[in-house]
Structure 1
Amino acid sequence: MKPGKQLQGVQAFYALLIGQLISVIGSGMTRFGLGVWVLAETKDTTAFTTMMFFAVFPAGLSALFTGPFIDRWDRRKLFIGANLVASLGILAMAILYFIGSLTLWHLYVAMSINGIASAFISPAMQSSARLLVPKERLHRASGLSQLLRPMEAILAPGLAGFIVGTFGLEVVFIIDIISFVINILILSMIQIPRPAQTAERSGRMKFWAELSEGFKYIKERPAFVTLISLFTLTLFLLPGMGYSLITPLVLSFETEKTLGLILAAYGVGSILGGVFLASRRENLRRMNSILAALVVAGLATSLMGLWENPWTIGLGVFLTGLSFVFVTGLNQIIWQVKSAPEMQGRLFAIMGTLAVGGQSLGILFAGPLASRVFQPMLEPGGALADSVGMLIGVGAGRGMAFMFILLGLNVLGMALVSWLNPSVRLLEDQIPDYEEKKIPLKGTPS
């Protein structure tokens, strides 16, 4: 397809979004199917969580180093290359599974490769939006982008569960590979312009110098330092310490079927939040909305710990999904609008690394705190059995429940303190919107 006939601008963004949606649903189905396979083969929860670790942590660690490449390289080719690498990992696992030779270490290596590839895709997707979508439509673009993961969370487990139970894991592998092929075909039909200053650069990339430019860019703008700190701390508290404990909390008194419905509530809330965000106009006060969403998320998290009731936990999960779309989506828009497009690959990569780092650290703290500190205090006869235990109960899972209450109160307090601090509440007023110079696309009149 000639450049002049390729999809450009908003049309290219929507095509990019559709391709990624197909791909993440396929990948989500594979993760679900592999999780079932690991638990069936090993009966070991640690093997399952180790698989998830290798799916997440390599992506966060390598994201720090992807930014300079994203800002330098042709992003369409980068998307295609990253998807090809990810698909090769899936293809290798599929072949090993078909011949009966798939082992855990094969799976860990393949999931790490997939995670490293995704470390290119996510920040490239975020930074490309500013190049394809007019500033006044970024709210809609961000809202639609936020729908990818919740749609995966709702569709992938249900589809994969049916397919694995009816046809087997091999069919899930085939569907995932087909989803990669479709995404790559869609990517071949779009054109993503290069930022003006990036297009004007010449010479060999100086990796460490360009990476350090990203850190320097953030450091020179205190509002960005504040924003990235707030975002990282939020991810440490909720997706890290909080969301990682929902599964054991629910399973302490309910069945796996109920757990599945509760986790789906997060996706439903996220979709509704994404649709609402996409419909909002540009005049939305972003920091005010982020802090208001954190208040809702804090209250919802505390609600999950008050009663041993699937309905209240489901409501809390739903409200958390709904509110977190605003936290992540509006945070993304601030960076897109306020920073130079030729820096955004590095900036989103740095933010992604810190976000995954905060979340991973929260996961590491959550398990030991729940099992060794809070649960013993809320066993019958424990240190808090006659005080906190009188309000929320004692026994299995109530230590985690108390952690949810405390986590929610911490998020609520963080939001209120930020609201009272003008340097945080008025953060977006401290940095003017970035206005870049435009260069004509090939095949278009100048």
Structure 2
Amino acid sequence: MKRSATTPSGGSAWSPLREKVFRTLWLAQFVSNVGGWMQTVGAQWLLVGHGAAMVSLVQVAAGLPVLLLALPAGVLADLVDRRRLLIGMQVAMAAVTVVLAVLALTGVLGPWSLLLLTFLLGCLTALNGPAWQALQPGLVPREQLRQASALGAVNMNVARALGPALGGALVAAAGVGWTFAVNAASFLGILLVLLLWRPVSQAPSRGQEREQALAALRAGGRYVRSAPGVRRILLRSALFVPGAAALWALLPVAAAQRLGLGSAGYGVLLGAVGLGAVLGAGALPRLGARLGATGMLALAGTLTAGALVVVAVTSEAVLAGAVLALAGAAWIWGLSTLSAALQLELPNWVRARAVAFYLLVFQGGNALGALVWGQLAQHAGLTAALTVSAGLLVSGVFSLRRLPLLDGRVDPSLSDAWPEPRLTVEPAPQDGPVLVTVDYRVAGADASAFVRAMADVEASRRRTGAVSWGLYRDAAESDRFIEVLTVASWAEHCAQHHERYTGIDREFERTAREFVLSEPVVTHAVTARERAVEQSVHVASSGTAGA
């Protein structure tokens, strides 16, 4: 099956909003995002007098927890009920924000207590993120994932426009503390929707065993290492996000120092970003179909770099607002392209864990980028920091020629084409490691093509759970090839059969077996231990049985 992140399908840019649950959650998330941006403006404006480095630490404190918690959060979201996890996170985030509001309104919130509580809120956001993003693809048809990703970015950026404007006005009228109070109330919408929503639960697949946390983390890491498309998405994120982070980290400083604006004027600048985001989302389906995923990333990087240069040198607020509108559209295009490409690649069993790796790169790059640019602005000046970040983005654009997004064959739907092994003794789930061998007969003329095809099979085996893999040719019988793989436990091998074997895995195996003369012979063996030798298994099966 051929499908790429750029496949134009799924109707207009707004089609996902026809889905009731997606629409309701989207609106509730918008209210929460507005509250979050109001709080961000309040927090940053509270620290403007303490220098550029201190202002940038707000973004660092909010994003740095992802580096610590993204991967455990991804494991958690794949192992527990995501809806219940999200409910718990909304309650906890609201509680922390209430504390911020009380401290601010009573006049005892200092810079470091603000950063500490922002860091705590960032920890909860990090635990919330993988579950939230993994939930989204189940709310819309697969062909609308690109539009859904764009709408998620529009949600954030329109909130980025409206929230700061409201936050700036609220700071001017009533003080910083009320921005925290409004944000605390904004969590109630998502919480209410999640409490009322009753998703259809799915019964566990036959043979399915719940993974242990550490084993699940290792499985997620193996998947990412063995998925070239996912690795390339992570690389492109690492080359785009840190440079773009300079705009969001230093814009308050540019507004105050270079453009001479107050908090309300800063909110208007972010309003221009939101307007550009909305216009960019509307243009995304047609533009994406014309340029492709790699072209969209090149356009996003180029426009963002240009906006950084203009903001670095201009003292005209109108010109800055115009280029920030372009930056808003570019951010939507870059973010949606990367997010949709990732979601189209992922099977459900590892979705939250792979999203966690993406968030680790994305949010971590955002936080570390903000830290670097803040320090550079503090010691070398605002213009130097913005110019260097623009140069980093331009270098990323040039690298797209050699390192484009991989528009590969993607079919992450589960497949039942991997038959059950025929056993005389059923191992216990924790038994292992499991040794699997597959004996192939291949004509000499097809040997090279078979070996090349088995490279894709290797990646498939490793993605679905193999901790080691090898392909060997019999020195005595040149037409005999032996595939050998080990899996950590019998439970994980059962997961390969029931939960992890997808359409693309089936396609890779089918392609390799086109060169096979007869049906392969498969054996399964579980490590023999003295305490349970009688339960060791070695079963040979033939016919259409898979590994």
Once the two structures are TM-superposed, the CA of residue 84 in structure 1 deviates from its matched residue by 0.5
Q: Which residue of structure 1 aligns with residue 38 of structure 2?
A: 29
The answer to whether 1:399 aligns with 2:384 is yes
Q: Give how far 1:55 is off.
A: 2.1
CA deviation vs aligned residue, 1:147-169 (integer Å, no higher than 9, x gap): 12212211112222333333444
Q: Deviations over 1:209-249 (max 9, x none)?
A: 2112222111112222122111112112222x454344444
**TM-score, structure 1 as length reference:** 0.78
**Which residue of the partner structure matches residue 395 of structure 2?**
410
Q: 1:123 to 1:208 in 2, by over 3 A?
A: same
Match of 2:410? Answer: 432
Q: Does 1:268 align with 2:275?
A: yes
Secondary structure of the residue aligned to 2:198 is: coil
Structure with the larger strand share: 2
* Closer/same/farther in 2, CA of residues 95 and 238 from structure 1, 3 Å limit: closer
Cα displacement (A) at 1:261: 3.2
Greater helix fraction, Structure 1 or Structure 2: 1
- Contact map agreement 1:97 1:170 (CA 8 A) in 2: yes
Aligned-partner Cα distance in 2 for 1:306–1:174: 37
Deviations 1:33-73 (A, max 9, x none): 3444455xx75655544344322212443222200111111
Tell whether the 8 Å contact from 2:134 to 2:351 is kept in structure 1 after alignment.
yes
Tell me which residue corresponds to 2:478. none
- Residue 340 (structure 1) shift: 0.6
1:314-370 CA-partner distances (Å, limit 9, x unpaired): 333221220121111121111111211121111111111112222233233324445
Deviation at 1:259?
4.3
Which residue pairs with 1:6 in the alignment? none
Q: CA 1:45/1:359 → structure 2, altered by over 3 Å: closer, same or farther?
A: closer
* 1:168-187 equivalent positions in 2, closer than 5 A: 168-187=175-194
Q: Post-superposition shift, 1:21?
A: 1.3
**Equivalents in 2 of 1:36, 1:304: separation in Å?**
19
Q: Describe how 1:227-376 pairs up with structure 2 within 5 A.
A: 227-239=233-245, 241-257=246-262, 258-277=265-284, 285-305=292-312, 308-370=315-377, 372=379
Q: 1:279 offset after TM fit, Å? A: 7.9
Contact 2:154 2:281 in 1 (8 A): yes
Counterpart-to-counterpart distance in 2, 1:368 and 1:134: 44
Secondary structure, aligned partner of 1:360? helix
**What is the match of residue 120 of structure 1?**
127
* Cα shift readout 1:348-403 (whole Å, capped 9, x = no counterpart): 11111112222233233324445556x5xxxxxxxxxxxxxxxxxxxxx5534643
Q: Quick check: 1:140 aligned with 2:147?
A: yes
Q: Using a 3 Å threshold, how does the CA distance of structure 1 residues 97 and 309 change in structure 2: closer, same or farther?
A: closer
**Distance change >3 Å, CA 268–CA 221, structure 1 → 2:** same
CA distance in 2, matches of 1:124, 1:235: 22
- The answer to whether the Cα contact below 8 Å between 1:153 and 1:267 also exists between their aligned partners in 2 is yes
Question: Aligned in 2, Cα 1:200/1:285: closer, same or farther, shift over 3 Å?
Answer: farther
**Does residue 1:226 correspond to 2:211, yes or no?**
no
2:414 aligns to what SS in structure 1?
coil
1:206 partnered with 2:212? yes
Contact 2:59–2:370 under 8 Å retained in 1:
no
Q: CA deviation at 1:298?
A: 3.7
Q: Does the Cα contact within 8 Å between 1:143 and 1:329 map onto a contact in 2? A: yes
Aligned to 2:29: 20
**Is the Cα–Cα contact under 8 Å of residues 296 and 319 in structure 1 kept in the other structure?**
yes
Q: How far does residue 110 in structure 1 lie from its aligned partner after superposition?
A: 2.4
Higher RCO by CA contacts (8 Å cutoff, separation 6 or greater): 1
Go from structure 1 to structure 2 and tell me whether the alpha carbon gap of 1:405 and 1:30 turns closer, same or farther (over 3 Å shift). Answer: closer
Identical positions, percent:
22
Q: Distance in 2 between matches of 1:297 and 1:358?
A: 16
Q: CA deviation at 1:134?
A: 0.8
Q: Structure 2 regions of 5+ residues with no counterpart?
A: 1-17, 417-497, 499-547
2:222 maps to 216
Aligned length: 399
Q: Could you tell me how far apart the structure 1 residues matched to 2:308 and 2:288 are?
A: 29
Comparing 124-133 and 62-71, the one that deviates more: 124-133
Change (3 A) 1:221 1:34: closer
Asked if 1 retains the 8 angstrom alpha-carbon contact of 2:90 and 2:187, the reply is: yes
Shift in alpha-carbon separation, 1:160–1:407, aligned structure 2, 3 A: same
Kindly provide the amino acid, as one letter, of the partner of residue 77 in structure 1.
R
**Can you list the C-alpha shifts for 1:178-235, whole angstroms capped at 9, x where unaligned?**
22223211111223456777897434x4222211222211111222212211111211
User: Contact 1:196–1:436 at 8 Å: present in 2 too?
Assistant: no
Task: Report the structure number with the largest CA radius of gyration.
Answer: 2
Conservation of the 8 A alpha-carbon contact between 1:13 and 1:132: yes
Summarize the Cα distance change of 1:343–1:197 in structure 2 as closer, same or farther, 3 Å threshold. Answer: farther
Which segment drifts farther, 354-363 or 291-300? 291-300
Cα deviations by residue, 1:86-127 (Å, 9 ceiling, x for unpaired): 011012223334555444444333222211121133322221
Deviation at 1:433, TM superposition (A): 2.7
Gaps of 5+ in 1: 1-8, 376-396, 440-446
- Please tell me the residue identity of whatever aligns with 2:244: L
CA RMSD of aligned residues (A): 3.3
Instruction: Say if 2:77 and 2:131, in contact at 8 Å, map to a contact too.
Output: yes
Contact 2:149-2:336 at 8 Å conserved across structures? yes
1:444 equivalent in structure 2: none
Specify whether residues 189 and 78 from structure 1 end up closer, same or farther in structure 2 by C-alpha distance, changes over 3 A only.
same
